[in-house]
């Protein structure tokens, strides 16, 4: 049976939240009485979750059940797994580190700096840096 795009999306959202919270698949599985292998299958979308399991994940991850369906295209055909920059480990690590900064002022300054860097046009970068 082919992997359904909705199962892939729900699994991606499960993985995102787990990584943002800094949980391993083993710890998350233990919290919902599952093996890490089962969590891994859910995250990949190769196993379909039943509603009670989705409810348990939402409870443990402190999100509403609707979280798992957020940002899902209205058309299954429009779904493209793996192209979401928010799903990248680097992005999730950055978000986790950002939220560990306790000083509001420092966090806000960092946010403004990152926005400014993101607005820099490629023509402003030295040639050696562009090749990366």
Which residues make Cβ contacts (< 8 Å) with residue 55, sequence separation at least 6?
Answer: 65
Residue 17 lies in a domain: yes
CATH number of the domain that 71 lies in? 1.10.260.40
Residue 85 pLDDT level (bands cut at 50, 70, 90):
low
In this structure, of 5-19, 68-82, 95-109, the range with the lowest mean pLDDT score is 68-82
Mean residue pLDDT of the chain comes to: 84
Number of domains within the chain = 1
Residue 56 lies in a domain: yes
Whether the CB-CB separation of 20 and 61 falls below 8 Å is answered with no
pLDDT tens digits for range 25-81: 999 999 999 999 999 999 999 999 999 999 999 999 999 999 999 888 776 555 554
Output the pLDDT for position 61: 97
Give CA 31 to chain center in angstroms: 19
Output the pLDDT for position 4: 85
- CB-CB neighbours of 21 under 10 Å: 15
Residue 117 lies in a domain: no
Output the pLDDT for position 84: 64
d(CA 40, CA 32): 13
The burial of 22, by beta-carbon neighbours within 10 Å (0-12 exposed, 13-18 middle, 19 or more buried), is given as exposed
Q: Sign of the CA dihedral 94, 36, 44, 76? A: negative
Residue 17 in this model has a pLDDT that exceeds 90: yes
Residue 101 lies in a domain: no
Residue 10 lies in a domain: yes
d(CA 72, CA 100): 28
The domain of 22 spans 5-87
SS3 93: helix
Residue 83 lies in a domain: yes
Residue 70 is given by DSSP the state T
d(CA 67, CA 11): 11
Residue 45 lies in a domain: yes
């Amino acid at each position: 049976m082919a992997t359904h795009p909705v199962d892939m999306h729900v699994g991606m959202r499960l993985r995102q939240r787990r990584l943002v919270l800094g949980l391993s698949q083993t710890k998350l599985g233990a919290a919902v009485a599952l093996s890490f292998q089962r969590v891994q299958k859910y995250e990949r979308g190769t196993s379909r979750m039943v509603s009670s399991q989705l409810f348990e994940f939402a409870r443990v991850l402190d999100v509403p059940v609707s979280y798992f369906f957020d940002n899902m295209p209205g058309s299954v055909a429009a779904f493209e797994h793996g192209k979401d920059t928010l799903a990248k480990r680097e992005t999730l690590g950055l978000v986790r580190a950002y939220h560990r900064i306790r000083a509001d002022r420092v966090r806000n300054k960092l946010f403004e700096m990152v926005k400014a860097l993101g607005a820099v046009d490629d023509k402003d970068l030295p040639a050696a840096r562009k090749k990366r």
